[in-house]
Amino acid sequence: MLAIISNVLRASAQRNGAAVIMSARTYADFTTQATFEIKKCDVFKLDEGPATQVVLTRDEGLQYYRTMQTMRRMELKADQLYKQKIIRGFCHLYDGQEACAVGIEASINLSDHLITAYRAHGYTYTRGGTVKEIMAELTGRRGGIAKGKGGSMHMYCKHFYGGNGIVGVPLGAGVALACKYQGNNELCVCLYGDGAANQGQIFETYNMAALWKLPVIFICENNRYGMGTSVERAAASTDYFKRGEFIPGLRVDGMDVLCVREATRFAADHCRSGKGPILMELQTYRYHGHSMSDPGVSYRTREEIQEVRSKSDPISMLKDRMLSNNMASVEELKEIDVEVRKEIEDAAQFATTDPEPPLEELCNHIFCDMPSLEVRGTNPWAKLKSVS
C-alpha cells in the first residue's frame, strides 16, 4: 500500500519535476532580443533618416503584440455592435492601422501630448483609455470615457485631445506652443489623414510651427483613401511627407510597428533638440470602409484589401518575426489572444449593459467652474439645470 502511494507520488514528482525542467528549458530557449532590418525611410530636407537596424526585445514584442491585438479585436467588436445597432451614428474603425498607434506610443512618453482626427479609438487606447470605457462611450453609456456625451469621435484622456470632427492640427501646434512656453521638454504628436492633408488650416499651421520652432511631430496617416476618394484623385502631390515644404519629412512604412517606432524616435529627438517641427507620412491601410456606413468596396477592390491583409498585416508581421526568431511560442501568443478576447468580451458586456447617462446629466458641463446655471429646455416651461 505504502509502496503504491510512494510510487504514485514519485511518479507525479517526476512528472512535475520533468514539467518544470521542460519549461525552464523552453524559457531559456527564447531569444530575449533580436536585431531586425527594416525598410529605409524616404527623407525630405534631412541628411539622414531613422536607423534601419533595430533591436526588438521579447518583452517589447509581446507588449506590441498584445496592444495591437487588443485594438484589432476592439474594432472588430465595435463593427459587430454597430451592425446590431447597439452603436449608432459615426464609427470610423482603425483595424489595419494598429502599427501606427502602437509604434508612435512606443517612442514617446505618456507625458507627451497627442491629438488626432476622428479615427481615434486606437489612440484613445494607447494614450491610456481602457477598452471598457472606450466601448461604453461608443454605446453611449454613463461608463464611457466621456460619460456618453462625446461618442466615437470625441474621446479624451490625459494629454490626449481627441478625437476631432475635422482635424486637430492647429490645436496640436497650440499644445506644442504650450509645451515650449512652459519649458517642459514635452512634445505634441499631431495626426491627420491623407484627406485632411489638403486642408488650408494645415498649411497655416505648418507655417507657424516652423516659424516659431514648435515641438510638434506632424503625422499624416496615409491610408490611400479620403472616404471614397483615392489620393491620386484628391492631391496634386501625393508625397505627403514633402508637403510641409520647409519642414523636414519622412515617409515611413506604417504597417511595420518597428519602422513606425524608429521613425518616431528619430522625429522626437529632432523636436526635443529644439529644431522645430518635423513631418512623418505613415503609409498604412484600413480594412474597413471610411466608416461603418461605407462598405469600402466601391472605390477599391476586394483583391486589394485581401492582398494587404495577407502580405502586410501589422500583427501577422510582428508575429512572424517573433516566431521565426524564437522570441515567443505559438502557444504563448495564442494565450495572449485568449486573454485579449476575454477582455474585449467583458468590455462589450459592460458596454451593452451599463445604463445610459441619467437625464439629469443632459445640461451638465456647459461651463467650467460654474455653480448651477439654468438652461432652456425644448419649451419655455422646461427650465433645466446645469452644473459642472
Partner 1 sequence: MAASLRCFLRSGKNTVSALQRRDFHRSAPAAVQMTVRDALNQAMDEELERDERVFLLGEEVAQYDGAYKVSRGLWKKYGDKRIIDTPISEMGFTGIAVGAAMAGLRPICEFMTFNFSMQAIDQIINSAAKTYYMSAGLQSVPIVFRGPNGASAGVAAQHSQCFAAWYGHCPGLKVVSPWNSEDAKGLLKSAIRDENPVVVLENELLYGVPFEMSEEAQSKDFTIPIGKAKIERQGNSITLVAHSRYVGHCLDAAAVLAKEGIECEVINLRTIRPMDVETIETSVMKTNHLVTVEGGWPQFGIGAEICARIMEGPAFNYLDSPVTRVTGVDIPMPYAKILEDHSLPQVKDIIFSVKKTLNI
CA–CA dist 80, 97 (Å, integer): 19
Q: What is the DSSP string of 41-72?
A: PEEES-S----SEEEEEHHHHHHHHHHHHHHH
Q: What is the DSSP string of 356-370?
A: PPPGGGTTTTSSTT-
Among 150, 227, 272, 332, binds partner 1 (CB under 8 A): 150
Judged by beta carbon, residue 61 or residue 172, the one nearer partner 1 is 172
- 345-374: contacts with partner 1 (CB under 8 A): 364-370, 373
Judged by beta carbon, residue 169 or residue 260, the one nearer partner 1 is 169
Identify whether the C-beta of residue 216 lies closer than 8 Å to the C-beta of residue 277.
yes
Of the candidate spans 144-152, 256-264, 266-274, 279-287, the one that interacts with partner 1 by CB under 8 A turns out to be 144-152
Residue 111 interacting with partner 1 (CB under 8 A): no
Identify whether the C-beta of residue 157 lies closer than 8 Å to the C-beta of residue 127.
yes
Judged by beta carbon, residue 149 or residue 265, the one nearer partner 1 is 149
CA–CA dist 321, 61 (Å, integer): 9
Count of residues interacting with partner 1 (CB under 8 A): 50
Q: Are strands 225-226 and 229-230 parallel, antiparallel or unpaired?
A: antiparallel
- 171-230: contacts with partner 1 (CB under 8 A): 171-179, 181-182, 188, 200-201, 203-205, 207-208, 211-212
Least distance from C-beta 247 to partner 1, angstroms? 14
Among 44, 156, 225, 350, binds partner 1 (CB under 8 A): 156
Least distance from C-beta 378 to partner 1, angstroms? 13
Would you give the DSSP letter of residue 196?
Answer: G
Identify whether the C-beta of residue 178 lies closer than 8 Å to the C-beta of residue 215.
no
| Residue 265 parent element (H or E) | helix 257-272
Judged by beta carbon, residue 38 or residue 214, the one nearer partner 1 is 214
Cell of 243: 508637403
Q: Are strands 229-230 and 113-115 parallel, antiparallel or unpaired?
A: unpaired
CA–CA dist 348, 38 (Å, integer): 36
Least distance from C-beta 288 to partner 1, angstroms? 24
Among 165, 274, 295, 377, binds partner 1 (CB under 8 A): 165
Least distance from C-beta 113 to partner 1, angstroms? 7
Q: Give the dihedral sign, CA 355/359/360/366.
A: positive
Judged by beta carbon, residue 9 or residue 370, the one nearer partner 1 is 370
Judged by beta carbon, residue 24 or residue 366, the one nearer partner 1 is 366
Least distance from C-beta 112 to partner 1, angstroms? 11
Least distance from C-beta 220 to partner 1, angstroms? 17
Judged by beta carbon, residue 190 or residue 318, the one nearer partner 1 is 190
Least distance from C-beta 79 to partner 1, angstroms? 24
Would you give the DSSP letter of residue 1?
Answer: -
Of the candidate spans 154-162, 262-270, 300-308, 344-352, the one that interacts with partner 1 by CB under 8 A turns out to be 154-162
Q: Give the dihedral sign, CA 243/244/247/252.
A: negative
Among 154, 224, 300, 341, binds partner 1 (CB under 8 A): 154
Among 157, 197, 267, 333, binds partner 1 (CB under 8 A): 157
Least distance from C-beta 161 to partner 1, angstroms? 6
Judged by beta carbon, residue 119 or residue 288, the one nearer partner 1 is 119
Judged by beta carbon, residue 179 or residue 219, the one nearer partner 1 is 179
Cell of 298: 466601391
User: SS in 3 state form for 333-349?
Assistant: HHHHHHHHHHHHHHHHH
Q: Are strands 188-193 and 225-226 parallel, antiparallel or unpaired?
A: unpaired
Q: What is the DSSP string of 128-176?
A: T--HHHHHHHHTT-TTSTTTTSS-TT---BTTB----SS--HHHHHHHH
Chain residues binding partner 1 by CB under 8 A are: 113, 115, 146-150, 154, 156-157, 161-162, 164-166, 168-179, 181-182, 188, 200-201, 203-205, 207-208, 211-212, 364-370, 373, 375, 380, 388
